[in-house]
């Protein structure tokens, strides 16, 4: 029996009981090693294994890559076998097939939901996205039953572009027939909504929202058409939420425009601030990060009235920019957070 240490670099210092987002690769590795009779320990900084036989470090978020690398170097220096994985540090590395398709060990984190991919890859090549590089073209990988635990009543689908999957319809039917609510966590592609898949989506029960993406004003027509198709299938506007990428290559005015379009249709807007992959690329911003944070705070999960708050903030911001005064801009912005 070997001592296996799993390290979740995204949640260092966070008690696993309070961590709502398991690292999928680690819970699959855990399941496989337990099948081999090994002893598996998950560490988020609270647990130490003095001399593990093998260490796996998982990282998902780019801003934690440096932390993961530091831990990796530490074990390497001690001559302990160590593997490092995750989008920001090893974008083209995948789990071996016999581990990839295992039922994850949900005991490792106390999550009440199952999570996984039914397809990977994408038909598009958005400039800000690592999926085409990491996963390649869209392909079906699994039925939901491969990772849906019988005791769970919620399913988190992590597919990069589920509606582009060659088995999208079968997958939606599987979800509709399972006794679960579903979170299409990575966002669905509004450009691929048709009356047929809208009907299938309506037959599933979202945990909170049906999530879509509206990352550029160039797809406004398809966004509006897609919303109408979903509504005609019986989905209510308040069940729809749109991720809006900000700070990549749109201006504040374009972000406001997208926000107004979404509010016109009475659907939720969820701004996501662009973060460069692995901090290797400087952020391409048309307005400073502090202002993007303000935009995000004003817009996220707030009622229509926030648009006036945001417009008021923007007027003050413009005024300050043109005529610098003794009052720092950050003080002005704080008042609107
Ligand atoms: S559609 Fe989504 S998954 Fe596909 S490349 Fe664009 S951002 Fe990435």
What is the pLDDT, as a whole number, of residue 327?
Answer: 47
Question: Is the distance from the beta carbon of residue 160 to the nearest atom of ligand 1 less than 6 Å?
Answer: yes
Q: Where are the domains of the chain?
A: 1-92
Using the atom order of ligand 1, give the atom closest to the CA of residue 122.
4
C-alpha 303 to ligand 1 mean position (Å): 28
Asked if 152 and 113 touch (Cβ cutoff 8 Å), the reply is: yes
Q: Does domain 1-92 have CATH number 3.40.50.1700?
A: yes
Asked if 180 and 155 touch (Cβ cutoff 8 Å), the reply is: yes
Q: What is the mean pLDDT of the chain?
A: 84
Asked if 138 and 122 touch (Cβ cutoff 8 Å), the reply is: yes
Which residue would you say has higher pLDDT here, 9 or 46? 9
pLDDT digits (tens, 9 = 90+) for 150-185: 999 999 999 999 999 999 999 999 999 999 999 999
Q: H or E stretch including 1?
A: none
C-alpha 177 to ligand 1 mean position (Å): 27
Closest Cα to atom 8, ligand 1: which residue? 129
pLDDT digits (tens, 9 = 90+) for 285-326: 555 565 666 667 666 654 444 555 565 555 555 555 555 544
Q: Which of 119, 120, 125, 126 to mutate to test the pocket of ligand 1 (most atoms within 8 A of CB)?
A: 126
> Using CA atoms, how far apart are residues 227 and 112, in angstroms rounded to an integer?
31
Among 44, 37, 49, which residue's Cα sits nearest to residue 75? 49
Q: Taking the model in full, what pTM does it have?
A: 0.83
pLDDT at 240 > cutoff 50: yes
């Amino acid at each position: 029996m070997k001592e296996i240490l799993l390290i979740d670099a995204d949640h260092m210092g966070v008690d696993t009981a309070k961590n709502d987002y398991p690292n999928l690769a680690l819970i699959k590795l855990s399941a496989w090693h337990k099948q081999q009779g090994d002893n598996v320990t998950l560490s988020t900084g609270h647990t130490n294994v003095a001399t593990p036989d093998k260490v796996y470090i998982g990282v998902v978020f780019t801003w934690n890559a440096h932390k993961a690398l530091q831990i990796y170097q530490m074990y390497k220096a001690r001559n302990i076998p160590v593997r490092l994985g995750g989008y920001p540090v090893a974008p083209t590395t995948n789990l071996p097939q016999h581990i990839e398709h295992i039922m994850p060990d949900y005991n490792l984190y106390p999550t009440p939901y199952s999570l996984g991919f039914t397809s990977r890859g994408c038909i598009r090549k958005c400039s800000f996205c690592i999926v085409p590089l990491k996963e390649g073209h869209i392909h079906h990988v699994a039925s939901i039953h491969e990772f849906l635990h019988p005791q769970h009543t919620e399913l988190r689908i992590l597919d990069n572009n589920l509606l582009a999957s060659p088995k999208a319809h079968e997958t939606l039917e599987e979800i509709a027939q399972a006794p679960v609510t579903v979170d299409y966590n990575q966002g669905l592609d509004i450009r691929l909504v048709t009356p047929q898949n809208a009907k299938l989506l309506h037959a599933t029960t979202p945990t909170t929202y049906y999530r879509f993406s509206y990352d550029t004003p160039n797809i406004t027509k398809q966004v509006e058409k897609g919303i109408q198709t979903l509504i005609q299938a019986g989905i209510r506007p308040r069940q729809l939420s749109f991720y809006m990428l900000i700070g990549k290559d749109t201006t504040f005015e374009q972000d406001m425009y997208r926000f107004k379009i979404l509010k016109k249709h009475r659907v939720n807007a969820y701004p996501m601030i662009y973060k460069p992959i692995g901090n290797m690329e400087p952020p391409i911003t048309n307005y400073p990060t502090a202002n993007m944070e303000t935009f995000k705070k004003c817009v996220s999960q707030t009622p229509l009235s926030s648009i006036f708050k945001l417009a008021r903030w923007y007027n003050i911001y413009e005024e300050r920019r043109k005529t610098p005064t003794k009052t720092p801009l950050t003080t002005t912005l704080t008042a609107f957070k």
